[in-house]
């Protein structure tokens, strides 16, 4: 038997993605193999594909953070999974775009059989990121004012939905075409193309913002920091501005500088969030948070917004959707 995978053949645009077939390996001791039903697509996948992500792997490599599917093989000394179970697997940004994945059994998370795999896979990267930034990092409370950039995206809509559950006062930047999505979660939508969000918030929230969540980087980070009140918290969790043509790729230096200072120029606390770093430091948090989110999904308290379900072989189309901002919510690769 063979497995199919999407590989980045060289750094570049969506055309560098290629479907390959290779022998299907058996899991080793303490491992399980999962026949994938759904894989998540993220902007960080695009950044790695273009070689813009710090320490991007050298091609060829298989991109992808997350996968959900059915356990179809078990290695020796595995007791907590059985063939036919549904399981979730999370990678450090590399490995998810494949028809079959192998993972340590202790790191694979059981998935309730009743859940839609595409909705469930959205929790692994997007909702864990949102939940941990809100509750592990910023430690928000009911009534707090928060600013969410990229509010119509995968993490943005997760922040909005979890923020609504936490009874936050929310402001979200998005294009005019996606205004209704942001407002649908009870947030105030700010059109980043026609409005200056700093000026808008000076009028709508004159006392300042309690927490800002910014995946954009560059000048946007500086302007976001201006919206905070004296005790407000800045959380940066990406630097997608490097995907814009003509943007200088200096984000590793900026990230390192802020990570060391941990303060804005005004003295506000700064947190630079990386799901993979926090998972490495607190693996118990990751497992706890995924299970909590699965419970919320099973109970119907959250429902991830799935923008597109793209056939696995058409991963390039999924990347184009994200690159051109045509996606609203999560883009998922589905396997037949």
Q: According to the model, what pLDDT value does residue 247 have?
A: 63
* Pair (198, 262) in one structural domain: yes
- Tell me if 2 sits within 8 A of 25, measured CB to CB: no
Q: According to the model, what pLDDT value does residue 251 have?
A: 73
Joined tokens for residue 286: 């990751």
* Pair (189, 105) in one structural domain: no
As averages over each run of 10 residues, the pLDDT of the chain (336 residues) reads 97 98 98 98 96 91 98 97 98 97 97 97 98 98 98 98 98 97 98 96 98 95 96 94 71 83 94 96 97 98 98 98 96 95
Supply the Cα-derived Rg of the chain in whole angstroms: 20
* Pair (148, 96) in one structural domain: no
Max intra-chain CA distance, the chain: 62
Look at residue 117 and tell me if it is in a domain.
no
Kindly tell me the burial class for residue 34, based on how many C-beta atoms sit within 10 Å of its own C-beta (0-12, 13-18, 19 or more).
buried
Residues 119, 126: Cα–Cα separation, whole Å? 11
* Pair (154, 80) in one structural domain: no
* Pair (140, 248) in one structural domain: yes
* Pair (77, 129) in one structural domain: no
Q: According to the model, what pLDDT value does residue 39 have?
A: 98
- Tell me if 229 sits within 8 A of 209, measured CB to CB: yes
Q: According to the model, what pLDDT value does residue 255 have?
A: 82
Q: According to the model, what pLDDT value does residue 259 have?
A: 87
Q: According to the model, what pLDDT value does residue 63 have?
A: 98
Residues 125, 190: Cα–Cα separation, whole Å? 25
Model pTM score: 0.96
* Pair (76, 156) in one structural domain: no
**What is the domain count for the chain?**
2
Look at residue 286 and tell me if it is in a domain.
no
Residues 221, 167: Cα–Cα separation, whole Å? 25
Q: According to the model, what pLDDT value does residue 246 have?
A: 61
* Pair (188, 328) in one structural domain: no
Look at residue 284 and tell me if it is in a domain.
no
* Pair (85, 168) in one structural domain: no
Task: Give the structural domain span for 272.
Answer: 125-276
Q: According to the model, what pLDDT value does residue 53 have?
A: 87
* Pair (229, 158) in one structural domain: yes
Look at residue 287 and tell me if it is in a domain.
no
């Amino acid at each position: 038997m063979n497995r199919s995978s999407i590989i980045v053949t060289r750094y570049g645009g969506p055309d560098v993605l290629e479907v390959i077939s290779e022998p299907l390996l058996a899991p080793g001791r303490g491992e399980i193999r999962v026949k994938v039903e759904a894989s998540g697509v993220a902007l960080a996948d695009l950044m790695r594909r273009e070689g813009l992500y710090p320490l991007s792997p050298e091609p060829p490599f298989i991109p992808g953070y997350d996968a959900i599917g059915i356990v179809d093989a078990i290695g020796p000394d595995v007791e907590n999974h059985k063939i036919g179970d549904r399981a979730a697997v999370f990678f450090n940004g590399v490995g998810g775009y494949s028809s079959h994945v192998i993972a340590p059994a202790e790191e694979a998370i059981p998935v309730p059989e009743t859940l839609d795999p595409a909705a469930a896979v959205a929790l692994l990267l997007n909702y864990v990121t949102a939940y941990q930034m809100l509750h592990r990092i910023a430690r928000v409370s009911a009534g707090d004012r928060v600013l969410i950039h990229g509010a119509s995206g995968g993490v943005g809509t997760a922040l909005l939905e979890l923020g609504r559950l936490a009874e936050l006062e929310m402001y979200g930047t998005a294009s005019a075409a996606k205004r209704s999505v942001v407002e649908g979660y009870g947030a105030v939508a700010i059109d980043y193309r026609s409005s200056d969000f700093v000026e808008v918030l000076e009028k709508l929230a004159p006392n300042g913002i309690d927490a800002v969540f910014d995946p954009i980087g560059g000048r946007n980070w500086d302007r976001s920091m201006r919206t905070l009140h004296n005790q407000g918290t800045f959380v940066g969790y990406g630097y997608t501005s490097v995907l814009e043509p003509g943007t200088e790729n200096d984000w590793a230096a900026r990230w390192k500088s802020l990570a060391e200072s941990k303060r804005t120029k005004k003295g506000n606390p700064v947190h630079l969030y990386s799901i993979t770093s926090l998972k490495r430091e607190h693996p118990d948090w990751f497992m706890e948070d995924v299970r909590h989110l699965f419970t919320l999904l099973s109970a119907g308290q959250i429902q991830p917004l799935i923008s597109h379900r793209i056939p696995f072989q058409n991963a390039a189309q999924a990347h184009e959707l994200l690159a051109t901002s045509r996606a609203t919510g999560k883009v998922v690769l589905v396997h037949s």
